[in-house]
Chain A
């Protein structure tokens, strides 16, 4: 069953410059897809189009349809704002790269997290409070009661991203979009957040669209990738196919660069290992 179907999505500027050109792909229930590309490849615009959040001054055509369960699908590009508000959070949610800009700096974390729960699940009072704590516990935050009372600037980058994940998952969406969710984080925190996302997506049987410029990061959490270049589809396949047998020269270049950096660490492990034995 398809959760997301993007067909022939085209986004152009007011002046007619194409930003995304005829992009088509689908994501099924419980499926994970990685969207890979360099700056300006249209990855984030595609995410915004799926959320119905594209800036009004851009022209868009094609279809983006989202469906939840057996119910009829919604055409995002033509849907009314009221329908989109219902869908956002319940059917599709997004986590952005920079958690500090995704959170309201003037609102305590608990109140922000309560908003989607109140709006979509109509929770109030004690039930709302305990759902907030449950949501924070689920993203493995230590001392959830303290974090709920804190303002975003009072907590660490990793904790902020966990809060953003808790907010995105609060209403149990069918599809989660993660737009470079670990790029701003330290490598150890990145590993924790990837592990957390992996577990939550698996446990809830959610679909995932994971956007990144980093093939190594994507390979940790998805098994299928789609490569974008300057707004156009280049190729798609499993991580293994794309890494070991890329068909397109653009992908070959991308993979070669990623492998070159990756192999710098191999040299360390072999030489270092010998050093260790010799010394």
Chain B
């Protein structure tokens, strides 16, 4: 089976800037969660922007289902947005504070026009379809439907991140792009959200691309790992191999720098 997303010979630089990414190549396959790790300035967030189609590579291409990704192509862009959704780092800024949870989660269904194509002909049936999708998604992230009429401010950080995940999965995307999804959370909440992401992969078949500086989180969730240093891939492969038996000194340095608990 072909890859869902692929970066092929990708180069990127900002206007009048020095190169941010060079010679980036990787493929994302269904069911194989991918971790992209690196330190500040390594280019991880830029890769995420390219994968989201927010930026275009200066050279090379991002392929979605084997075709060059172009957000100017409205039809492809709509299909792409329905299949690739994102969860951001900070659940305090990624949710509109003035909207109730039900509207927040329903947003992708409405803006992508899915309600019109899948929700039936009458207004009433579309409304009921949206309601059921939202409730289903909310239950998948372990929140009760009592939350529907609440505002984001009424939730803790971990619950807000669950709401953000519910919004991302409501249109049943194939891929979830997650930018440091747990680094703003406490350690106990962090473990719960990782478990949730893992579970969603199993129950809904969603594949996760996670950008993170936290190797433990990547080790807990991702099958494959890419290590980035200064805009270039220094090592990639199975997570157990990359983190357990790294071949590059930079990867070894990252692992050795991790504070570990006494055993």
Residues of A within 8 A of B (CB): 38-39, 157, 186-191, 194, 213-217, 219-220, 239-240, 243, 253-254, 257-262, 264-265, 267-273, 275-276
Q: Are A257 and B260 in contact (CB under 8 A)?
A: no
**How distant is A18 from chain B, measured CB to nearest CB, in Å?**
19
Q: Are A239 and B191 in contact (CB under 8 A)?
A: no
Known A188-B39, A220-B259, A257-B191: A276·B215 in contact at CB below 8 Å: no
Measured between beta carbons, the chain A residues less than 8 angstroms from B238 are 275
Asked whether B157 is an interface residue with its Cβ less than 8 Å from the other chain, the reply is yes
18 extra interface residue pairs, beta carbon distance < 8 Å, beyond A187-B39, A254-B187: A188-B257, A217-B259, A219-B260, A220-B259, A254-B188, A261-B217, A261-B220, A264-B216, A264-B219, A264-B220, A265-B243, A267-B219, A268-B244, A269-B244, A270-B244, A272-B240, A272-B243, A276-B245
Interface positions, chain B 189-210, Cβ under 8 Å from A, are 189-191
- A-B residue pairs, 5 tightest by C-beta: A272-B244, A264-B220, A268-B243, A272-B245, A271-B240
Q: What are 14 inter-chain pairs, A to B, with CB distance below 8 A?
A: A38-B187, A187-B39, A187-B213, A191-B256, A191-B258, A219-B260, A261-B217, A267-B240, A268-B219, A272-B240, A272-B243, A272-B246, A275-B241, A276-B244
Interface positions, chain B 32-84, Cβ under 8 Å from A, are 39-40
Measured between beta carbons, the chain B residues less than 8 angstroms from A186 are 39-40, 213
Residues of B within 8 A of A (CB): 39-40, 157, 186-191, 213-217, 219-220, 238-246, 253-262
Measured between beta carbons, the chain A residues less than 8 angstroms from B246 are 272
Q: Are B187 and A258 in contact (CB under 8 A)?
A: yes
In whole angstroms, what is the CA distance A74 to B242 when docked? 54
Q: Which of B40, B213, B239, B257 contacts A268 (CB 8 A)?
A: B239
Q: Which residue of A lies closest to B238 (CB)?
A: A275
In whole angstroms, what is the CA distance A243 to B216 when docked? 18
Measured between beta carbons, the chain B residues less than 8 angstroms from A270 are 244
Chain B binding site: helix, strand, loop or mixed by DSSP? helix
Interface-central residue, B191, B244, B262, by most chain A CB under 10 Å:
B244
Q: Are B259 and A214 in contact (CB under 8 A)?
A: yes
Q: Which of A39, A188, A265, A269 contacts B157 (CB 8 A)?
A: A39
Measured between beta carbons, the chain A residues less than 8 angstroms from B241 are 272, 275-276
Q: Are B258 and A187 in contact (CB under 8 A)?
A: yes
In whole angstroms, what is the CA distance A194 to B256 when docked? 13
Known A38-B186, A260-B191, A261-B217: A216·B259 in contact at CB below 8 Å: yes
Q: Are A262 and B261 in contact (CB under 8 A)?
A: yes
Q: Are A262 and B216 in contact (CB under 8 A)?
A: yes
Measured between beta carbons, the chain A residues less than 8 angstroms from B40 are 157, 186
Q: Are A273 and B244 in contact (CB under 8 A)?
A: yes
Q: Which residue of A lies closest to B215 (CB)?
A: A265
Q: Which of A220, A264, A273 contacts B245 (CB 8 A)?
A: A273
In whole angstroms, what is the CA distance A157 to B41 when docked? 11
In whole angstroms, what is the CA distance A258 to B262 when docked? 11
Measured between beta carbons, the chain B residues less than 8 angstroms from A213 are 186-187
Q: Which residue of B lies closest to A37 (CB)?
A: B186
Q: Are A191 and B186 in contact (CB under 8 A)?
A: no
Q: Which of A188, A240, A254, A267 contacts B262 (CB 8 A)?
A: A240
Q: Which residue of A lies closest to B220 (CB)?
A: A264
Measured between beta carbons, the chain B residues less than 8 angstroms from A38 are 186-189
